[in-house]
Amino acid sequence: MHVCSYFYRNLHLLEEYDALVCNSDEIALGVLEVIKHQPLNVPKDIAVTGFDDLPLVSGELTTIKQNLAHIAEKTIESLELAKKSEEPFGVISQVEVLNRKTS
């Protein structure tokens, strides 16, 4: 968790941010642990969000929940389309913001 190590070595930088948007719940949990060493209040002074909606953090961490079944379905469809066509294509998957105690 390089992000957590970075902030731990540079605790003073946390006071410059209003929010930290992490690319995983695991990193967000690490960042929250680092923030405990600062006189900062989450979410009043700084908000922290994750991504994944890991079961072990449900109820506390604001996070983004992916529709994994939809992603799996679209991945299979995309692979089948790729076999038939050389045209580039994209897939957009809906996510859900779960506002919890850290934002």
- Per the structure, the count of domains in the chain is 1
Listed in sequence order, the residues at least 6 apart from 48 whose beta carbon sits closer than 8 Å to its beta carbon are: 19, 20, 22, 28, 31, 32, 35, 42, 61, 62, 102, 103
78 within some domain = no
76 within some domain = no
* 63-66 vs 95-98, strand pairing mode: antiparallel
49 within some domain = yes
- Indicate whether 1 pLDDT > 60: no
Residue % of the chain over a pLDDT of 90? 46
CATH for 51 = 3.40.50.2300
38 within some domain = yes
61 within some domain = yes
Whole-prediction pTM value? 0.80
Residue % of the chain over a pLDDT of 70? 96
Q: Which of 103, 101, 97, 99 is nearest to 20 (CA)?
A: 103
Residue 55 is part of which domain span?
Answer: 2-66
